[in-house]
Chains A and B, each alone.
Chain A
Amino acid sequence: MLGSFSSEWVKLRRRAVLLWGLGGGLLFTVLITVFTIERAVKTIVPGEHSHGFRITVAQLSQADGLVHGFVDASTLIGIVALCLFAGATASEYSQRTLSNLLVRQPRRSELLTGKYLALALFIGVAVVLAIVVASAFAFALAPGKGVDTSAWTSSTGLNDLGQSLLHVYLACLGYGILGTALAVILRSPGVAIALGVAWVIPAEAIITAIWSNGDRWLPGQLLSALAHGGTSDASYSHSLVLLVIYAAVAAAGTLALFARRDV
């Protein structure tokens, strides 16, 4: 497994992977952080047309104010993770490189697990990089909007920062399992990514609009709830338990298919 992990890192150092894998999440996080702070208002007047979500300066000045943009960007960071895992795994089929890999590492479960762990570490670096850079932007922009940042560096603020980082990272690992499963099933990066993104964003939104309990059961909704540390529809513990079950089933099925299918 160590060989597979180490081998995957050679591929992850490609310029395009660094650009999209690290830069994608970073870009979304910074944009949403900047957008959140710039649109902060003193008070929200009831009935005022708000053109989307708005937050007050007072809310931003609280301990968790620093991570608002980061958490709101979590679905987009998750989509980047899904694309990364699906692309890296399915391209081994589409580029026909999988045969070479399996000759050097015939223990297929070790090959796939090592690859997943390498990608998991990579996306962890991407998440940390995103929060660090977005935080720098937040600290730079906050005084201009009258946001008091002193609570952000309090112990509560740092605790919120750490928890948000963990929640978003766990959600990314979930998106990664979804991407890997789709890649092994479909064996085409384009199809796996398209289907994954289509499921997580429009398909689940439509299903949730029809089925009111969808928020509590659909994987994309649960991943979003997990990243937010729980929502009014799905608590953190409910989301985590269900996602662990979903992930275990998906991982077992993916490993079984990967191990048994002819290459």
Chain B
Amino acid sequence: MTTSTTPSDAVSPAVVTHGLSKRYGERLAVDGLEMELPRGVVSGFVGPNGAGKTTTIRMLLGLVAPSSGSATVLGQSTRNPAAYLARVGALVESPAFYPTLSGRRNLQVLSRLGRLDEQRIDEVLAQAELTDRAGDLVRSYSLGMRQRLGVAAALLPEPELVILDEPANGLDPAGIREMRTLLRGLSDRGVTVFVSSHQLSEIEAICDHLVMIHQGRAVFQGEVNDLLTAQHSDLVAIPEHAGDLAKLAALCNDQGKPARVDGDTVRVQAPGDWAAELNRQSMAAGITLRGLQSTRASLEEAFFAVTEGEQQ
């Protein structure tokens, strides 16, 4: 397989979709998706199960034909996947391998098919920390090991773009941490990573850029930080005396900042820069605070805020 990278490819976004849709009978799995992924960063693709993440990924890989709309990957139209797939590594849905072949032989199948350098097999097995079990039949692998073999398969062609669909599925906490390190390492080497997940905490931990999809449509895309800072943040105030909790909450509510007592703290819906004002007003009201901190909305809270807003 021969491909070439034109100068315009190198500067264009890694993935662009325009009105990309896929209909299965009556059901619209992806609905006019507009998406643009920058190069060289880890982009997250989040949404609940059935939101259209896997269908979108399959369309980007040329496995599924769009019902309408268009997409480009590494500057090439998805109508001609052969023009770009040699530069793409992918793990689609749960990893599927030949159970009666070893991990190494499974990678050999893919390596030969793509006319790749078979020396890469040992390198990617090492990257996925599967060297010791490379000769064992895949049917003896745990789900986590299969997942890592899937990632190894995706890295075989030394890709410019890696698309991983739910790569953390089945991994234990140590495996998830290794996956995070691996993906960050790829990004540091200039590889664009597009990773889908419904585990929002994972995406928050590893992604710079985010596409949020709900019912087949993108409801947010941009920097993760931009999304989180745009959400309501909380101030958590801890009075010195527990008897001041109700008084402190009432003080905040009087200032138009919704507050509630939560254990031995008062949680106030207010931006972080209101902390100084809260401290001053508490002092004026004779309440001494022994703790005051600003908490940012999590990606999960942001996701629900965005999708609920979308439904209204």
Contact = CB atoms under 8 A, between A and B. Distances in A.
B96 A96 contact: yes
A97 B110 CA distance: 10
Contact of A99 (B81, B96, B100): B96
A6 interface: yes
Given A101-B110, A105-B113, A107-B82, A11 B58 contact: no
B61 A11 contact: no
If over half of A's interface residues share one DSSP class (helix, strand or loop), that class is named, otherwise mixed; here it is helix
Interface in A80-110: 95-97, 99-107
Nearest to B90: A103
- How many B residues touch the partner, as a band? 20 to 34
Nearest to B115: A3
A4 interface: yes
Nearest to B81: A106
If over half of B's interface residues share one DSSP class (helix, strand or loop), that class is named, otherwise mixed; here it is loop
A45 interface: no
A16 interface: yes
A48 interface: no
A95 B113 contact: no
B112 A97 contact: no
Contacts of A102: 61-63
Residue of A3, A14, A95, A111 most packed against chain B (CB within 10 A): A3
Contacts of A235: none
B113 A104 contact: yes
Given A103-B88, A105-B114, A95 B63 contact: no
B98 A7 contact: no
A3 B97 CA distance: 18
B92 A10 contact: no
Residue of B96, B105, B108 most packed against chain A (CB within 10 A): B96
A77 B169 CA distance: 44
A245 interface: no
B156 to A, nearest CB: 8
A11 B100 CA distance: 9
A249 interface: no
Contacts of A260: 65
A263 interface: yes
Contact of A103 (B85, B100, B101): B85
B49 to A, nearest CB: 18
- How many A residues touch the partner, as a band? 20 to 34
B126 interface: no
Interface in B1-24: 1
B109 interface: yes
B110 A104 contact: yes
Nearest to B59: A262
Contacts of A7: 108-110, 112-113
B64 A97 contact: no
Nearest to A96: B96
Interface in B182-224: none
Nearest to B83: A106
Interface in A96-128: 96-97, 99-107, 111
Interface string B88-132: 111011101111110001001110111110000000000000000
Given A95-B96, A102-B63, A11 B101 contact: yes
B153 interface: yes
A111 B58 CA distance: 18
11 contacts: A2-B115, A14-B98, A14-B100, A96-B93, A99-B61, A100-B153, A101-B113, A105-B113, A106-B85, A260-B65, A262-B64
Interface of A: 2-4, 6-7, 10-11, 14-16, 95-97, 99-107, 111, 260, 262-263
Interface of B: 1, 58, 61-65, 81-82, 85, 88-90, 92-94, 96-101, 105, 108-110, 112-116, 153, 156-157
